[in-house]
Amino acid sequence: MSEPGYRQIRYARPPGACEILLVRHGESEEARPDHPFPLVDGQGDPALHPTGEAQARRVAERLAGESIDAVYVSSLRRTRLTAAPLLAKLGIEPVVEPDLREVHLGEWEGGAYRRHLSEGHPLVRQVLTEERWDVIPGAEPAEAFAARVRGAIGRIAAGHPDRTVVAFTHGGVIGQVLALAAGARPFTFVGADNGSISQVVVMGDRWGVRRYNDTAHLHAGFTILPEPPT
């Protein structure tokens, strides 16, 4: 008699852990030097560009079939607007977690960062080289940013053991979460696309990365498969 074979085991969420789907908000409206974004608590608060609105609908189509326990948004409206189509499908209200807001860019808030990035400002190169946003005058200190992001993710996970939640947030925040989870350099995961989905599994102090910058749903050929009958 032959010995039994052993197939590879598919990943399963550890008991007590929380899966957090991190969705970067859809593309926001253009920054114009003569019309800076309105500020909320000192941070730029643009609405969504029409492309961002379309991205939000595609995110909703992608996630509507998931078993979602809660939806979190930051205190900035571009996350609420991106979450709105999914919330409508799920029939629930979002939970505002203020510490999911984007890193504060100090004197470069209101759209100035985009202009300086496009024009190749020397400080932008320094930000990327040193992997610290606080190279920008008045920007949020790196240690403080990491601490508040860690706190937000820890609170969300603690409130939803053995569940999946969606957090609509920002590119800097997603990069920081994944760097903390992976023990990586601060900017290793900076650059998530608008409307992308990343995924972490959190159980107390143990964080793991499951997915980064998933944009399959944003491509024209992507098909949302119907749920199988039960």
Segment 188-199, tens digit of pLDDT: 999 999 999 999
With a cut of 90, say whether residue 142 has pLDDT above it. yes
CB 137 within 8 A of CB 105: no
Q: Is residue 74 part of a domain?
A: yes
Q: Is residue 41 part of a domain?
A: yes
Q: Is residue 75 part of a domain?
A: yes
Could you tell me which residues are beta bridge partners of residue 24?
169
Total number of domains in the chain: 1
Q: Is residue 135 part of a domain?
A: no
With a cut of 50, say whether residue 225 has pLDDT above it. no
Q: Is residue 224 part of a domain?
A: no
The C-alpha torsion from 218 through 220 and 222 to 226, rounded to 10°, is 100
Split at pLDDT 50, 70, 90, the class of 3 is confident
Q: Is residue 108 part of a domain?
A: no
d(CA 60, CA 64): 6
Q: Is residue 31 part of a domain?
A: yes
Split at pLDDT 50, 70, 90, the class of 1 is confident
Q: Is residue 145 part of a domain?
A: yes
Q: What tens digit of pLDDT does each residue of 63-93 get?
A: 999 999 999 999 999 999 999 999 999 999 9
**What would the two tokens of residue 176 be?**
């920081």
* Helix, strand, coil share of the chain (percent; to 5): 35, 20, 45
- Give the CATH number for residue 145: 3.40.50.1240
Give the range of the structural domain holding residue 85, as residue numbers without chain letter. Answer: 18-103+141-215
170: left (phi over 0), alpha (psi -120 to 50) or beta: beta
